[in-house]
Chain A
């Protein structure tokens, strides 16, 4: 399909481990967003990219979280030394530009930290 895809769909890891979550945006979309959705909550903004650069990373909770988008397309969210509180669904979205566009969301990656 032509939508946003995220892999893996589910990830179970142990406390203290490192994880990478991948997002493939819609082809041609220059803006890419990461959100985190905890159980019973709405999505919470983490970071957004315009092209290859992180335009706003104010939502990253601490320095264990890092995201890259080296070629302006695929993005990887990296979490070091995972904690049980990191368990959530991580959502990725993309949009054609920035400012007034609709964000198209992927199905998410459910991360469980044991």
Chain B
């Protein structure tokens, strides 16, 4: 069965610093991969997704992620973090050949210091 691992439960960075959130997945074929952000009191919002093609995908709010098949990873990056980026970030993989059943990781809580 598919699974997603986010090894970092909590990350703290200074505003303006770069950010990388790790995500590893377990899936035999080419996966459908997603990053969602959840702010307090808000619904999950899609940052970006990978289905096929270019392994470096650009998302909203200045985020990008790179699919590395050899490492089974889909790490999220941002070159300069803003205080408003403080939130919970979830990596997810589509179960099977579609995205109707998403398997989520346990999340990484990002804290940003001024």
Binding site for B on A (CB under 8 A): 3-4, 31, 33, 35, 40-45, 48, 50, 55-56, 58-59, 91, 93, 98-108
Contact = CB atoms under 8 A, between A and B. Distances in A.
A42 B100 contact: no
A42 B102 CA distance: 10
Contact of B103 (A3, A41, A45, A101): A45
B106 A41 contact: yes
A107 B102 contact: no
B98 A99 contact: yes
B42 interface: yes
A101 B102 CA distance: 11
Contacts of B31: none
Chain B, interface size category, equals 20 to 34
A91 B4 CA distance: 19
A51 to B, nearest CB: 13
Contacts of B92: 42
Contacts, number: 66
Among B43, B49, B100, B105, which residue has the most Cβ atoms of chain A within 10 A? B100
Interface string B76-114: 000000000000001010010111111111110000000
Contacts of A108: 43
B57 interface: no
Main secondary structure of the interface of A (DSSP, over half): loop
A91 B99 contact: no
Contacts of B90: 42-43
Contacts of A102: 46, 49
Contacts of B27: none
A114 to B, nearest CB: 23
B41 interface: yes
B51 A3 contact: no
Contacts of B99: 98-101, 103
Contact of B98 (A42, A93, A98, A105): A98
Given A99-B98, A100-B32, A107 B103 contact: no
Given A41-B106, A42-B90, A43-B90, A99 B100 contact: yes
A59 B100 CA distance: 12
Contacts of B102: 33, 35, 43, 45, 103
